[in-house]
Homo-oligomer: A and B are copies of this chain.
C-alpha cells in the first residue's frame, strides 16, 4: 500500500479464533468457550521458531501495528516498535498481538453475550487474571502451531504477562522482554486503581454492571477513572512541560465550577474521549488483574524462588521518570532474576515522559530494544 510509510506493516485484518475446550480460571470458575481476536505481522518461518507475542497493557488491544483501512489516520498502538526494519522487525519475526480475554475489542469479555442467559455478561463475567491470560495465549499459540515463542514482549500490565509466561511455561519462550513493569503492584498503585473503580461503581449509570441492558454507559465514572490513570502515566515534569500553568483564556474566570487551566481541559477531554471507546466492566477487570498479579505470593513472597523455573533470557527495562512502575520496581525484578541465577539484562532509560515512555519513540529506548531483538537468532 503505497499510502503507508515504508516501515509500516501496512494494511492488516484482525482474525478471530473460537476455543471450545473449557478454560479453567484462577477464580475457580471456567469459560465453556471463548473467542480471541488477534493480528499477525510478518511471516512464520518453516521451523515456526520466529514468533513473537505482544502482550497489551490496561487499555490496549490486538491492533498493535499497521492500519485497518487506507483512510486510517492512526496506526496500531505500538507501531513505533513493530514493522519492517523496526525494533521488532517483521522482516525477521512473525508477530502475534491479541486482545486479551475480558477485553472490549472483540475477544470474549463483559460486553459479550453470556450463552446461559442470552444477555451481556456485564459484571457477571468471571474475573480474569494474568495467569488466565497467559493460559489462553498458550492455546492461541497451539492453534497457530507455535510451540515456542522467540520472545514474549510487553509493557506495564503486558510486562506482567511476559513475566508470567517465563514462570508458567518456561520451555515455551526463549526471551522475555518486560518493560516498565513490576512483579506486583505497590499499595499506592492499588489505591489509584481503587479510586478509578470507585468512580465507575458509584456512577448511577453503572447499574451494577448491567448498564448495557439499560442502554446506558457510565461515562462520568469511566472518564474520571481515565483522568486518574492518565495523571499517573505522565511524569510531573512531562505535565509541566506540556501544560505548565497555561490558561485557557487570557483572563482568569474565577468560576468555582469552570475550567481555568489547559491541563484541566486536556484531562476532561481525555476522560470523555476514553469513556466513548472503552467498556467500564473491562476497565474494572483489567485494573483488578493488575492488583492481583503477585506470583511470589504462592512462595511466601520470595520472588527469586518464584523465578526458579524461568529458562528464558530476560530483558528488563524501565524509565527514569516512571513513578507508576518506577525503576526501583524493575531493579527488584532484575535482582531477583540474578539471585535465581537467570540470564538477565537490565536497562534504565533516561526519559522525561513517565510511564507513557514505553509507548513512545524515544531513540535510546527503541535502539536498545532493537539491539536486543536483533540478537535473537531465528532460522531464515
Contact = CB atoms under 8 A, between A and B. Distances in A.
Interface of A: 26-28, 123, 125-127, 129, 184-188, 190-192, 194-195, 197-199, 201-204, 208-209, 220-221, 223-224, 227-228, 231, 234, 236, 239-240, 242-245, 252, 254-257, 259-261, 263-264, 267-268, 271, 281, 284-285, 288, 291-292, 294, 297, 323
A291 B261 contact: yes
Contact of A188 (B186, B197, B239, B268): B239
A199 B257 CA distance: 12
Contact of A239 (B127, B191, B257, B294): B191
Nearest to A271: B198
B224 A186 contact: no
B123 A186 contact: no
B191 A231 contact: yes
A254 B291 CA distance: 11
A231 B231 CA distance: 13
Contacts of A127: 254-256
A226 B263 CA distance: 20
A194 B268 contact: yes
6 contacts: A127-B256, A184-B245, A198-B227, A199-B224, A256-B281, A261-B291
Nearest to A219: B202
Given A228-B228, A239-B186, A294-B245, A194 B267 contact: yes
Given A27-B254, A187-B236, A260-B291, 16 more contacts: A27-B252, A127-B255, A186-B240, A187-B239, A187-B243, A187-B244, A188-B240, A190-B261, A191-B267, A194-B264, A194-B268, A198-B224, A228-B228, A254-B292, A257-B284, A261-B291
Given A228-B195, A228-B228, A245 B187 contact: yes
A200 to B, nearest CB: 9
Contact of A264 (B191, B202, B259): B191
A256 B123 contact: yes
B261 A227 contact: no
Nearest to A255: B127
Contacts of A243: 187
Nearest to A193: B264
Given A260-B291, A261-B291, A254 B199 contact: no
A203 B203 CA distance: 8
A280 to B, nearest CB: 11
A243 B189 CA distance: 12
Contacts of A223: 198, 202
Given A252-B292, A254-B28, A254-B127, A263 B192 contact: no
B292 A242 contact: no
A262 to B, nearest CB: 8
A16 to B, nearest CB: 25
A30 to B, nearest CB: 13
A263 B190 contact: yes
Contact of A125 (B192, B221, B244, B256): B256
A26 B251 CA distance: 12
Given A187-B240, A199-B199, A292-B252, A194 B257 contact: no
